[in-house]
Structure 1
Amino acid sequence: MIERQLFPAIGTALSDYPAVALLGARQVGKTTLARQIGDVRSAVYLDIERPSDRQKLTDPEAYLSLHSQRLVILDEVQHMPELFPVLRSLIDEGRRAGQTTGRFLLLGSATGELLRQSGESLAGRVAYLELPSLQLPEVAEDQQNRLWVRGGFPNSLLASNDSKSLDWRQNLISTYLERELPSYGSRLPAQTLRRLWTMLAHLQGGLLDVSQLAKGLMIDAKTVHRYLDMLGDLMLLRKLPPWHSNLGKRLVKSPKVYVRDSGLLHALLGLATQDALLAHPVVGNSWEGFAIETLLNAAPRDAQSGFYRSSNGAEIDLLMDVPGLGLMAIEVKKSSTAKPRRGFYSACEDLQPVQKFLVHGGVDGVPYPVGDGVMAVGLRHLALWLAQIQPGVPLETF
């Protein structure tokens, strides 16, 4: 059993709120983690997609009232939106009786839909936590390249060989295309959706150009926007926004797009092994996306992030404004011997970040200076520091 970093945060949230919503893509490990929480708290577990469990909720108020003294876990709760007003009523009733926390753990794989449904009924009563795929700090140090190639879905990462891992990811993609996306209102044929997703894989780390995607798919731009939002809601796609500043410079205004899980990215491109990946043109952008996803998931939830690119070639792969630490500029390179680009230094002159990092994929992640105030550091080391960040504690002493 892989220990997830989010486990203690869920326990803390359940001690502070009557309801906690755990968001994450399908097969990312939400149910396994929730059952671990449930074992500790003797919880009742219901899977809304299972007919027998759904039948128990024919009269949800009566059933849930029977278990008012126990934590109730509701899996894929977004498929039963009529539950949310009932949950609100039971939470408010429990508050009057002194039951103020730890009533419901809600699991969902459609972030936008669940946020909308719960926000309308449970405002002020629910805490939201996101469970990403397995992250670098959660696996052994020697598993970094395997995690990069196979991605963080547990069944993919732990498969007995690369071929079986790729088969599992391709089956997951088919499930999304043929069942999951249509259940959320998709009207495009599965083949068209696959082409869109594959085009996004080839665009990994590039600027989003909706008109070009629409032209390639022979559909209108509005439809492309809708499906990009859908992939984002399902936590499969990330749009990294451009960093806005008042420097009077001409800046790129389009977001950069990334398939969030590197394993799904490689499956869409048919890349089963590390050798195949290293020989493919996407390798640099794949590592960049893997590193950025790792760092964003490790950073404090209230950190602001984006990228910077100006018309004169100044560029920073990732900017993070972390409360208590200030602005951090991060250049991403796979090689541990790489140096920052000239455009990185130019961008740092524009923005004056408090800390500057060159993040690499080397095994020895101990930080060392590379000049002009830039610290080179391994990806795993920086992610661990971000996850346990304390104002005033420099990276070099971590």
Structure 2
Amino acid sequence: MYDRILVRYLQTTGRSALMLGPRQVGKSTLLSSIGPDLSLNLANPRTFRDYAKHPERLQRELEAAPPTMKTVFLDEVQRVPALLDAVQVCLDDQPGRFRFLLSGSSARKLRRGQANLLPGRVHVHHLHPLLAAELGQDFELDRVLAHGTLPGIYSERDSATRAADLRSYTDTYLREEIQAEALVRNIGGFARLLDLMAASSGRILNVQALCRDAGLGYETTRRYIDVLEDTLVMFRVPAWSGSSRASLVRHAKIFLFDIGVRNALLRRPLDAPLPDERGVLLEHLIACELYRRLGTLWPEAALYHYRTRHGAEVDFVLEVGREVWGIEVKASRQVSRRMLSGLSSLKDRCDRVARRIVVFLGERPQRLDGVDVLPLEDFLLQLPT
């Protein structure tokens, strides 16, 4: 089991918490490690039936609980959203009596069930696949670029088994469960859209092109994309607006939540990353490392991309408080001045640019025309944990 950074945050606060994240990122393992006094797994068919039929049962049980029962863990709470009302009653009527740890893999189901998300009563956290910092000495770049960092898959030592597990995950979870989540009628169209989203991962979202290629209507395509985002399978990196949007591309980039899932959906060989995709995959890795820190680990940061209508672009723009950081990703061992044009454009447009960074695969840091040229490992070490 890998040590998760979020455990430290949960252990240092007594607040109740709602942990959201895709399947198999380790939510149950993480929350169980805190040592709850009562655990209810709503993925268990019998437990689900009991509490779905009588959600008020939880409140009655907690009213009769002994004083030693303090921490209550509800796993996959989106399956019975009505339980959140019982949680609110307990938190309001007996402040400090219980601490609730809640996990869920679908914000869509919670919203669709008009769930009480307990504003002001619980802290909401997002758990993602493993960060490089959580892998520690187990971090292997080629392995990450091929198989991603879902904990159960990455911890498997046999590469062939890892690949088989990854394909099984994409087929049974993404293609079947997400399909069911979407109430899909056009199964073929949804399957094509899922593959197209994987192929578009790291690119600017073009809904019209996806409609055409998937053979779907515009509203259907938008709804399916919303489902993928609500189930935390994909995320958007919006366009940075700056001081004037007149000459900037305004559409978001999209990324799947895990590199290995992207590769499996596209039927890529999973023994090693394809050489001609190394740049795309490295950019995807940096996108995930930055995005996974937003919120709990880096609350003052917001993530964007930068692209002008004249072709200048920067892979990522971080707003950290009042500062702006421009980050370019290069899958090469050398960096030249001609690679800095996008960062120069960003600096010319915004006087708040405090750092310009190129992440590359060289061995030692460099300084080039005011730009920090950082090896991948050095860059990752500078990110908050």
Q: Could you state the TM-score of these two structures normalised by the residue count of structure 2?
A: 0.89
Partner residue of 2:39?
Answer: 45
Give distance in 2, aligned partners of 1:354 and 1:116: 42
Note the alpha carbon deviations across 1:129-171, whole angstroms, 9 max, x for none.
1111011111134523212211111122122333322221121
Cα distance in 1 for partners of 2:284, 2:170 equals 19
**CA 1:54–1:186 in 2, change beyond 3 Å: closer, same or farther?**
closer
User: What SS does the aligned partner of 2:128 have?
Assistant: coil
Deviates more, 1:200-209 or 1:267-276: 267-276
* Distance change >3 Å, CA 372–CA 341, structure 1 → 2: closer
Residue identity opposite 2:299 in structure 1: R
Question: 1:8 and 1:148 mapped to 2: Cα distance?
Answer: 27
Q: How does 1:1-398 map to 2 (within 5 A)?
A: 1-13=1-13, 15=14, 17=15, 19-38=16-35, 42-54=36-48, 57=51, 58=54, 59-67=57-65, 69-95=69-95, 98-99=96-97, 103-114=99-110, 120=116, 122-141=118-137, 142-247=139-244, 249-273=246-270, 275=272, 277-279=274-276, 282-298=277-293, 300-323=298-321, 326-339=323-336, 340-352=339-351, 353-362=353-362, 364=363, 367-369=365-367, 371-388=368-385
Shift of 1:276: 5.0
Alpha-carbon contact 2:38-2:73 (below 8 Å) kept: yes
Structure 2 unaligned residues grouped into runs of 5+: none
Residue 348 of structure 1: SS of its match in structure 2? helix
* Letter matched to residue 292 of structure 1: A
CA–CA separation in structure 1 for the residues paired with 2:115 and 2:356: 38
Distance in 2 (CA, whole Å) between partners of 1:119 and 1:53 is 19
Structure 1 unmatched ranges of 5 or more: 389-398
For residue 6 of structure 1, give the secondary structure of its aligned residue in structure 2.
Answer: helix
Could you tell me which amino acid in structure 1 is paired with residue 304 of structure 2? G
Q: Is the 8 A contact 1:260 1:289 kept in 2?
A: no
1:357 is paired with a residue whose SS is: strand
The 8 Å contact of residues 306 and 315 in structure 2, kept in 1 or not, is answered as yes
Distance 2:140 2:273 in 1: 18
Please report how far the alpha carbon of residue 189 of structure 1 lies from its aligned counterpart in structure 2 after TM superposition.
4.2
TM-score, normalisation: structure 1: 0.86
Structure 1 distance, partners of 2:29, 2:186, is 32
C-alpha RMSD of the superposition: 2.3
CA distance 1:234–1:361, shift in 2 (3 Å): farther
Question: How many Å apart are 1:192 and its aligned residue?
Answer: 2.8
Task: Compute the displacement of 1:383 (Å).
Answer: 2.8
- Partner of 1:37: helix, strand, or coil? coil
Distance 1:105 1:322 in 2: 30
Q: Is the 8 A contact 1:298 1:384 kept in 2?
A: no
- State the one-letter code of the partner of 1:294: E
* Number of equivalences: 372
The answer (yes or no) to whether the contact 2:163–2:271 under 8 Å persists in 1 is no
Partners of 1:28 and 1:133 within 8 A in 2: yes
Percent identity, aligned pairs only? 27
Could you tell me how far apart the structure 1 residues matched to 2:190 and 2:279 are? Answer: 25
CA contact (8 A) 2:182 2:227 kept: no
1:387: how far off?
A: 1.0
* Matches of 1:295 and 1:380, distance apart in 2: 14
Instruction: Say whether the 8 Å CA contact 1:307–1:316 is kept in structure 2.
Output: yes
Q: Distance in 2 between matches of 1:312 and 1:238?
A: 26
- Amino acid paired to 2:230: D
Q: Structure 1 residues 118 and 34 mapped into 2: Cα distance closer, same or farther (>3 Å)? A: farther
In structure 1, give the amino acid aligned to 2:345.
S
- Report how far residue 177 of structure 1 moved: 4.0
